[in-house]
Amino acid sequence: MAHLKARQGASPTSVLPGTTPSLRIAAAVGFNRAAAGVMSAYRLRRRFGEANQALHAIGELDARLAPRQDVRTG
């Protein structure tokens, strides 16, 4: 049971038994960089989504405030 508890919060170093410490450290660094990259991509996507919504809202507001032209007269 203790083994299962240790694996629930498993870090990359605990997942690689029988490896050298330097390899475990390298794996941990790679794992952390990959996780940071995924989070950065998520944040960037969210920021672009927020910016896109803001631009869309500005476009709608601009369309409402712009003087309407009669389609027949141009």
Tokens of 38: 């995924």
Structural domain harbouring 49: 22-66
CA distance 36 to 58: 33
> Is the backbone of residue 18 left (phi > 0), alpha (psi -120 to 50) or beta?
left
Statement: the pTM of the whole predicted model exceeds 0.75: no
Stretch 33-58: mean pLDDT:
88
Residue 26 lies in a domain: yes
Q: Is 14 a member of any domain?
A: no
What does pLDDT average to over the chain? 75
For residue 46, being part of any structural domain is answered with: yes
Cβ neighbour number for residue 60 with a 10 Å cutoff = 10
Count up the domains in the chain and report the number.
1
